[in-house]
Amino acid sequence: MTADDVPIGRVLHALGGPILAAEQIDAALAAHPAHVTVSVPSAR
């Protein structure tokens, strides 16, 4: 568990998969009170 005052940075390599997992990750990042940066690189 990340402390409330620690920013989160994530790179998501998403080539598909269960939508439930994506929704859970989205909800957890949205609920984190500190700054969150997410990058999704191109599949090319």
Look at the block and give the residue holding tokens 């929704």: 23
Per-residue pLDDT tens digits for 1-44: 789 999 999 988 867 778 888 889 889 999 999 999 998 887 66
- Number of folded domains in the chain? 1
For residue 2, being part of any structural domain is answered with no
pLDDT of residue 1: 79
Residue 10 CA to residue 38 CA, distance in Å, equals 5
For residue 1, being part of any structural domain is answered with no
pLDDT of residue 18: 80
User: Residue 16 sits in which domain range?
Assistant: 8-39
For residue 3, being part of any structural domain is answered with no
For residue 29, being part of any structural domain is answered with yes
pLDDT of residue 44: 65
For residue 31, being part of any structural domain is answered with yes
pLDDT of residue 30: 94
| Token code pair at residue 37 | 């940066």
For residue 13, being part of any structural domain is answered with yes
| Residues 6 or more apart in contact with residue 22 via CB below 8 angstroms | 14
For residue 14, being part of any structural domain is answered with yes
